[in-house]
């Protein structure tokens, strides 16, 4: 159902806008990103099965270092930025990325990869809603439908797992 929900995102055709001038290219990048995200989750699950407890977080740290080095040339040169940006950047780096990855790598030892992936799909499925609420960008009907399928599948799976746990 998750795959079906993601497929619905790609059914409709969007007209070019300033933030998305080449929708097919963006969709291809999104598909590649999802594929590599799935590989990352499977790899973290594989590392969690090992004896070295810090292997997952070390791998995530190294991956983020590689991402930083790859993206740094596009961020340079840094122009003057208001001083109130620094706390926001530190918060996003430490809490949104750092704490989230610590929690994720610790949980992967106890949660099957498919369940972790399903729960983590809630955030990207909600992106059309967040962009509408925060930025006023109206999501396409297909985007809303895809998000609804993913959220429904996630809730149904969680409900099914909870019922199974109660029976045991």
Which pairs with CB-CB distance under 8 Å and at least 24 residues apart come from 126-131? Answer: 126/151
Which pairs with CB-CB distance under 8 Å and at least 24 residues apart come from 142-148? Answer: 142/8, 142/9, 142/11, 142/12, 143/9, 143/12, 145/8, 146/5, 146/6, 146/7, 146/8, 146/9, 147/5, 148/5
What span, in angstroms and rounded, lies between the C-alpha atoms of 102 and 51? 17
* pLDDT per residue as tens, the chain (168 positions): 767 776 776 676 666 676 667 777 777 887 788 788 878 888 888 888 887 878 888 888 898 899 999 999 998 888 877 888 889 988 988 888 888 888 888 888 787 766 777 677 777 767 777 777 887 777 778 877 887 887 788 778 778 877 887 776
DSSP 98: I
- The span from the first CA to the last CA of the chain, in angstroms, equals 26
**Confidence (pLDDT) at 73:** 93
Tokens of 52: 């070295």
**Confidence (pLDDT) at 19:** 67
CB distance 1 to 152 below 8 Å = yes
Three-state DSSP class for residue 83: coil
**Confidence (pLDDT) at 13:** 64
């Amino acid at each position: 159902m998750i795959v079906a929900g993601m497929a619905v995102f790609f059914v409709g055709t969007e007209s070019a806008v300033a933030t998305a001038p080449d929708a097919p290219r963006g969709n291809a990048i999104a598909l590649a990103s999802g594929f590599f995200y799935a590989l990352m989750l499977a790899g973290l699950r594989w590392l969690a099965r090992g004896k070295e407890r810090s292997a997952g977080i070390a791998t995530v740290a190294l991956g983020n270092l590689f991402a930083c080095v790859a993206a740094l040339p596009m961020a340079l040169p840094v122009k003057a930025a208001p001083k109130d940006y620094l706390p926001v950047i530190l918060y996003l780096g430490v809490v949104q990325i750092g704490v989230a990855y610590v929690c994720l790598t610790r949980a992967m030892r106890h949660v099957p990869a498919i369940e972790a992936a399903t729960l983590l799909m809630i955030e990207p499925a909600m992106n059309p809603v967040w962009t509408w609420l925060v930025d006023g960008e109206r999501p396409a009907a297909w985007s809303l439908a895809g998000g609804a399928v993913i959220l429904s599948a996630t809730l149904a799976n969680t409900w099914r797992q909870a019922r199974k746990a109660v029976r045991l």
